[in-house]
With several copies, the nearest count.
Chain A
Amino acid sequence: MPGLEDLYREIILDHYRSPRNRGELESPPAVKTEGFNPLCGDEIIVYIDVDDDGLITDIAIGGQGCSISQSSASMMSAAVKGQTVPYARRLIGAFKGLMSIHEGEIGGDGSEADMGIELSIDSGDTKLGDLEALKGVVKFPVRIKCATLGWNTLAQALDEASPIT
């Protein structure tokens, strides 16, 4: 039986209490997208600035929600800020892969997730390590949607900022 300590790791609580990149960006020029979790009412707003080289120069996170959705979005913002759009896309794939194990089981569609990519993709940014802390969420299936909310919203924002051609 998974315990609360699997879910509420210290690093998660830290991001929850002190969310990174919390705020708004002026939009436009920033792209702004909103994501809802219809089940619990959680809401994440992602603002990104992408420059002509496809670099995510800035990101800000708004909205409200539970510790998991907020900390996951916070970690995400730290992990993609200053990175390229393709990198962010791969990271989203990798993260959803991490989360898809149970989702697949209960009928969600995990097939799109790129299970091949490790979360430790080459990057010096230690923030990636933090993401591993969210692994425990998989043991609490209903919370997976909390953890992926910000990521799905970011994916939408990326598609808008830099459509796949």
Chain B
Amino acid sequence: MTDWAAIKADFPVLKQTANGAPLVYLDSGNTSQKPQRVIDAMSNYYETINANVHRGSYDIAVKATDAIEGARQKVAAFINAPSSIEVVFTKNATEALNLVARSWGGANLGEGDAVVISEMEHHANIVPWHMLASEKGFELRWISVKDDGHLDLSNLDELLDGAKLLSITAMSNVLGTLNPIHRLAEAAHAHGALIAVDGSQYVPHLATDVQAMGADFLIFTGHKMLGPMGIGVLWAREEILEAMPPFLGGGEMILNVTKEGFTTNEVPWKFEAGTPMVAEAVGLAAAIDYLNEIGMDEVRKHEVELTAYALRTLKERHGDKITIHGPSEPAERGGVLSFVYDQVHPHDVAQVLDQKGICVRAGHHCAKPLLRTLGVPATSRVSLYIYNDESDIDLLAETLTEASDIFSF
């Protein structure tokens, strides 16, 4: 049995107060908090072995190189990648998605081609395709989202017909919806398309196995999984990476440079131009260790229970005053709850909650096309992680009534 109270105590931010009240952090879908151990791992790196990697032959340079390559192996194991050379470090998920679009897409997409995405994508999985499409002239097709928060897959074959890539989130950052990636991968492959999976919301919360998923690309971001900001991950099958042209040019990614041209380094370094974020890789590795010690199945179980509790509590307490978007079954969703409360604008909801130290996000959550489909300009969003517990939900439910009091018409 996991001692969730002990886990909560590992997170120094949660010992802070905000506006005089103890901090209740319900915005992990935005960025997660970091256990002391992750913070210390990075400090320790800078205090003991900081050096540039892959370039120096001296002692700390070797140790720093081992640190980043060790982190790469840890990441690979965490998602069950066949080889660590399939793991590319980027600065965040957004850069990783741009890398896929510009490098793979730039080489493979042209007029007459199509890329399929869904209405529930984060802007990071929309804008790179818009940018590339306006340059290359391919078609961007959209899988619709149904009222129940699930993808409308009724016309999937039609959408995939002639498509070269399906790029889709494994879990919605607004609705919490878990998408049937394995089924989508099979459908994409049946149509000769590849599948890129945006795991930014999934990898931090559920055990991930790229091979079982049938994914060709997986994208995620360190800061949402207890790791630091400034590091993201692109995983792709080796043969795909091998065939892709480079993305950014500079040191590390070359084998040779002359005045006339250059040759590229091996994967994954081919895609890692310039000095990499070694401390952040060390922090991400420490975060993975931390999650592995709890066990991703325990993490998931905790979140399903807490999500169920939240859905139940908010409904019991606020009834028709609250509209919670997304699947109603906790097992079909992650711990992300978007809601609209009693005609109070989400920004005002967040403001009222903030006065009690409760951190929730209000807005479009970088998913404007989805909000347009939902027919709401903005929502309030609660997103849970391992350091949350029922008392956080209770305080949330309690404080919402204050918003009602101020804004009742």
Q: List A residues at the B interface (Cβ < 8 Å).
A: 1, 3-4, 7-8, 13, 16-17, 36, 38-43, 64-68, 70, 105-107, 109, 140-143, 146
- A143 partner, pick from B19, B57, B65, B84, beta carbons under 8 A: B57
How many Å from the CB of B273 to the closest CB on chain A? 13
- A36/B255 in contact, CB under 8 A: yes
Alpha-carbon separation in the docked complex, A67 to B345 (Å): 7
Known: A65-B347, A107-B69. A40 touches B363 (CB 8 A): yes
A41 near B70: Cβ-Cβ < 8 Å: no
Cβ contacts B360-397/A at 8 Å (1 or 0 each)? 00111000100100000110000000000000000000
Cβ–Cβ contact B407 & A67, under 8 A: yes
B183 CB within 8 Å of chain A: no
Q: Known interface pairs A17-B409, A41-B378. Does A106 touch B256 (Cβ–Cβ under 8 Å)? A: no
Q: Does B346 contact A (CB under 8 A)?
A: yes
A-B contact count (CB 8 A): 82
Q: Is B325 an interface residue (CB 8 A)?
A: no
The answer to whether B407 and A41 have CB atoms under 8 Å apart is no
Q: Which residue of B lies closest to A40 (CB)?
A: B363
- Complex CA–CA separation, A13 to B351 (angstroms): 14
Complex interface: chain B residues within 8 A of A146 (CB): 347
Least CB distance, B58 to chain A, in whole angstroms: 9
Q: Apart from A140-B57, A142-B65, what 12 extra A-B contacts exist at CB < 8 Å? A: A3-B355, A4-B352, A16-B407, A36-B256, A39-B363, A40-B378, A106-B69, A107-B73, A107-B84, A109-B83, A142-B56, A143-B57
Whether the pair B62, A142 counts as a contact (CB closer than 8 A) is yes
> By the criterion CB–CB under 8 Å, are A4 and B265 in contact?
no
CB distance from A30 to the nearest CB of B (A): 22
Is B66 located at the chain interface by the 8 A CB criterion?
A: yes
Shortest beta-carbon distance from A89 to chain B in Å: 21
* Chain A residues in 8 Å Cβ range of B219: none
- B406's partner among A4, A42, A66 (CB-CB below 8 A) is A4
**Nearest CB of A to B44, in Å:** 19
Q: Which of B62, B73, B362 contacts A40 (CB 8 A)?
A: B362
A106 in contact with B362 (CB, 8 Å): no
Q: Are A106 and B70 in contact (CB-based, < 8 A)?
A: yes
* A–B pairs, 25, beta carbons within 8 Å: A4-B351, A4-B355, A4-B406, A13-B407, A17-B409, A38-B254, A38-B256, A39-B54, A39-B55, A40-B346, A40-B362, A40-B363, A40-B378, A42-B347, A42-B378, A43-B377, A67-B348, A68-B347, A68-B348, A106-B69, A107-B69, A107-B70, A140-B351, A141-B62, A142-B57
Report B-chain residues with C-beta under 8 Å of the C-beta of A43. 377
**Chain B residues positioned under 8 Å from A16 (CB to CB):** 407
Chain B residues with Cβ under 8 A from A140's Cβ?
Answer: 57, 351
Closest to B56 in A: A142
Instruction: Tell me whether A38 and B265 are in contact (CB under 8 A).
Output: yes
Q: CB of B102 within 8 A of chain A?
A: no
Known contacts A17-B409, A107-B69: A41-B377 contact under CB 8 Å? yes
A66 in contact with B69 given A3-B355, A4-B406, A142-B57 (CB within 8 Å):
no
Q: Please give, as numbers and ranges, the residues of chain A lying within 8 Å of B347 by CB-CB distance.
A: 40, 42, 65-68, 143, 146
Residue among B72, B254, B368, B409 making CB contact with A107, cutoff 8 Å? B72
Is the pair A8, B378 in contact by a Cβ cutoff of 8 Å?
Answer: no
Q: Which residue from chain A places its CB closest to the CB of B363 in the assembled complex?
A: A40
B residues near A7, Cβ cutoff 8 Å? 351
B338 to A: closest C-beta gap in Å: 13
Across-interface contacts of A141 in B (CB, < 8 A): 62, 66
Cα distance A47–B352 when bound, in Å? 32
Q: A66-B346, A66-B347 are in contact. Are A38 and B255 (CB under 8 A)?
A: yes
Contact of A41 among B20, B57, B66, B368 (CB under 8 A): B368
> Does B287 interact with chain A (Cβ within 8 Å)?
no
Residue of A nearest to B344 (CB): A67
> Quick one: which of B66, B368, B371 contacts A106, CB cutoff 8 A?
B66
Instruction: List 7 A-B pairs, minimum CB-CB distance, nearest first.
Output: A66-B347, A107-B69, A41-B364, A66-B345, A40-B363, A142-B57, A41-B378
Q: Which residues of the other chain, A, contact B256 by a CB distance below 8 angstroms?
A: 36, 38
Separation of A16 and B348 alpha carbons in the complex (Å): 12
CB distance from A74 to the nearest CB of B (A): 14
Chain B residue at smallest Cβ distance from A140: B351
How near does chain B come to A146, taking the closest CB pair, in angstroms? 7
Contact assessment for A106 and B65 in the assembled complex, using a CB-CB cutoff below 8 Å = yes
List of A residues within 8 angstroms of B377 by Cβ? 41-43, 64-65
**Interface pair B65/A41, CB less than 8 Å apart:** no
> In the bound complex, how far is the Cα of B376 from the Cα of A41, in angstroms?
10
User: In the complex, what residues of B have CB within 8 A of residue A65's CB?
Assistant: 345, 347, 377
Closest residue to B257 on the A side, CB-wise? A38
| B85 interface contact, C-beta 8 A | yes
In contact, A13 and B368 (Cβ under 8 angstroms): no
Q: Are B368 and A8 in contact (CB under 8 A)?
A: no
Residues 325-357 (chain B) with a chain A CB within 8 angstroms: 345-348, 351-352, 355
Chain B residue at minimal CB-CB distance from A4? B355
Q: Which A residues lie within 8 Å of B255 (CB)?
A: 36, 38
Q: In the complex, what residues of A have CB within 8 A of residue B363's CB?
A: 39-41
Residues 59-89 of chain B: 1 if any A CB is under 8 Å from the residue's CB, otherwise 0?
0011001100110110000000001110000
